[in-house]
Amino acid sequence: MSLTITPLSPALGAQISGVDISREITAAQRDAIEQALLQHQVLFLRDQPITPEQQARFAARFGDLHIHPIYPNVPETPQVLVLDTAVTDVRDNAVWHTDVTFLPTPALGAVLSAKQLPAFGGDTLWASGIAAFEALSAPLRQLLDGLTATHDFTKSFPRERFGTTAEDLARWEATRRNNPPLSHPVVRTHPVSGRKALFVNEGFTTRINELSELESEALLKLLFTHATRPEFSIRWRWQENDVAFWDNRVTQHFAVDDYRPNRRVMHRATILGDAPF
């Protein structure tokens, strides 16, 4: 069967049909999905009741998988982490962020599967760093292109929320030792398409290194607000067994935390990327 790709907004987002990712996808399907990802940055597939093993197998067609140092995972498939509001505090997902930018090689992308949803609420938004960068004035683009920013694991994973038990504290401290603050360019070049994108996010970016603290704070506030404007973003209303696949190199996302005390369970497989440049 051939894939059908339906764009959802000018900035980013497309829905794909005509593929069953519970089965081993063909090389042609893999290439078509990758091309769609490069063009649309986040892809959505309805009615994909996949197991964690099938999810990991699909994600691994696009690169090696990451095991998250903090979030729990599926014991039999540790490459699939579990975002379950009945088990884990997931408030850090209710902020605009790009996944694991505290790593030297942040994620290429991620595959997210909806397992249990509230009756309403719990949408996720994505925003295009490419659209945001291209909408800036030429002088500001030129200024940003030579700057770097610090990304810090503890900004979204503070000790007071993720080190509340002896076991959790030991895990948090090990993660902190293994992931000290590091720098990435403020503007990233996509390693495949060559397009430039803003690469700062409220979840992990703490300051712009070449500026004073006051200048950094003001510029980051501007960029955080600008990057998530409605015209650069898309909002997805989940249905059970939906799957989203996004290019983490040039997007950020926000999981709306508006459904408590109802439960929401998602499974995520994260694909390792390369060093931003």
Report, as residue numbers or ranges, the catalytic residues. Answer: 97, 99, 253, 268
The whole-angstrom separation of Cα 111 and Cα 130 is 20
Torsion angle, alpha carbons of 226, 9, 142, 219, to 10: 10
User: Phi and psi (nearest 5°) for 87?
Assistant: -120, -40
CA pair distance 160, 175, nearest whole angstrom? 15
H/E stretch holding 171 reads helix 166-178
Structure tokens at 72: 């729990």
Distances (CA, A) of 7 to 60, 76, 239: 25, 35, 19
Rounded distance between C-alpha atoms, residue 196 and residue 203, angstroms: 20
Q: How far apart are CA 19 and CA 4, in angstroms?
A: 9
Q: 39 to each of 51, 246, 247, how far by Cα in Å?
A: 28, 11, 10
Distances (CA, A) of 184 to 15, 113, 162, 209: 31, 29, 25, 10
What is the amino acid identity at position 263?
A: R
- Hey, what are 32's tokens? 């078509």
Angle subtended at Cα 256 by Cα 239 and Cα 218, rounded to the nearest 5 degrees: 145
What 8-state DSSP symbol labels residue 184? E
Quick one: tokens of 277?
């440049």
